[in-house]
Amino acid sequence: MEATTVIIILVIAMVLTNILDSIFERLPLPLIQLAVGFLLGLFTENMPELEPEIFMALVIAPLLFRESEEADLLSLWRFKKQVFFMAFLLVFITVLGIGFAVNLLIPDLPLAACFALGAVLGPTDYVAVASLSSKVKLPDVLVTVLKGEALINDASGLISLQFAVAALLTGAFSVLRASGELVVLCVGGFLVGHAIIILKRLLTEMLRRMMIHYLDTYVLIELLLPFLSYVAAEFFGFSGILAAVTAGTLQALDFKKTGLFEAEVGNAEKTVWDMVSFILNALVFLMLGMQMPAALLHVWENPDYNKAFVVAVTVVTTLILYAVRFASISFFSEEVIGRGLRERLRNTLILTLAGVKGVVAIAAAISLPAFFAQKPLLMFIAAGTITLTLVLALFLLPFVTTESPEERSEANRAHIELLRDVVRQLRKKEGAHLGAVIVSYQKRIKELEYDSHEKDERKQMKSLRAYAGTVERAALAKRLAGKEIGRRVYRDYMEILSMTRRAEVAGVLSYSLAGLRRYLKYLLRSDKERAIGMSADAYRQKLRDLFWDLTDLIVKSFEDVRDRYSDRLIALFIEERVNLVGHLIDDAYAGTLRARLHEEYVDELLIGYEIERETIWDFLDEGKMTLSQANELRANVNKLESYTLADDQNDVMLKLISVMERQRREREEESRAERKRKAQKRKAQKAKDKRRA
pLDDT one-digit tens code per residue, 40-93? 888 876 666 667 778 778 887 888 888 788 777 777 888 888 888 888 888 889
The Cβ of residue 520 has, within 10 Å, a number of other Cβ atoms equal to 10
- The answer to whether 600 touches 432, Cβ cutoff 8 Å, is yes
**Counts for the chain of helices (H) and strands (E), in that order:** 31, 0
State which amino acid sits at residue 309.
F
pLDDT score for 101: 92
For the chain, the 3-state helix, strand and coil shares in percent, each to the nearest 5, are 80, 0, 20
**Rounded Cα distance, 634 and 636, in Å:** 5
Level-2 CATH architecture, domain 3-403 = Up-down Bundle (1.20)
Residue intervals in the chain for CATH 1.20.1530.20: 3-403
Q: Per-residue pLDDT tens for 515-540? A: 444 544 443 344 444 444 556 667 77
Which one has a higher pLDDT value, 651 or 205?
205
Mark out the alpha helices in 253-306 (DSSP H runs): 260-300
Q: Is the backbone of residue 645 left (phi > 0), alpha (psi -120 to 50) or beta?
A: alpha
Tell me the Cα Rg of the chain.
Answer: 33
- Gap between the Cα atoms of 356 and 122, Å rounded: 10
Q: How many whole angstroms separate alpha carbon 580 and alpha carbon 511?
A: 11
- 3-class SS of residue 518: helix
Question: How far, in Å, CA of 684 to CA of 426, rounded?
Answer: 54
Euclidean distance between CA atoms 637 and 611, whole angstroms: 10
Mean pLDDT of 547-573: 79
Question: What confidence tens digit (pLDDT) does each residue in 618-647 have?
Answer: 888 888 888 778 888 888 888 788 777 765
Give the max Cα distance, the chain.
Answer: 131
The DSSP line for 467-487 is HHHHHHHHHHHHHHHTTSS-H
Residue 214 DSSP SS3: coil
The pTM assigned to this predicted structure is: 0.66
Structure confidence by residue, pLDDT tens digits, 363-392: 777 777 766 778 888 888 888 898 888 888
Read off the pLDDT of residues 96-146 as tens digits, 9 standing for 90 and up.
Answer: 899 999 999 998 888 888 888 888 888 887 666 666 666 667 777 888 888
Neighbouring CB atoms inside 10 A of 294's CB total 17
Residues 186 and 155: beta-carbon distance below 8 Å: yes
Q: What is the pLDDT of residue 530?
A: 43
Residues 6 or more apart in contact with residue 44 via CB below 8 angstroms: 1, 9
DSSP letter (8 states) at residue 257 = P
Residue 4 and residue 641: Cα distance in Å, rounded? 39
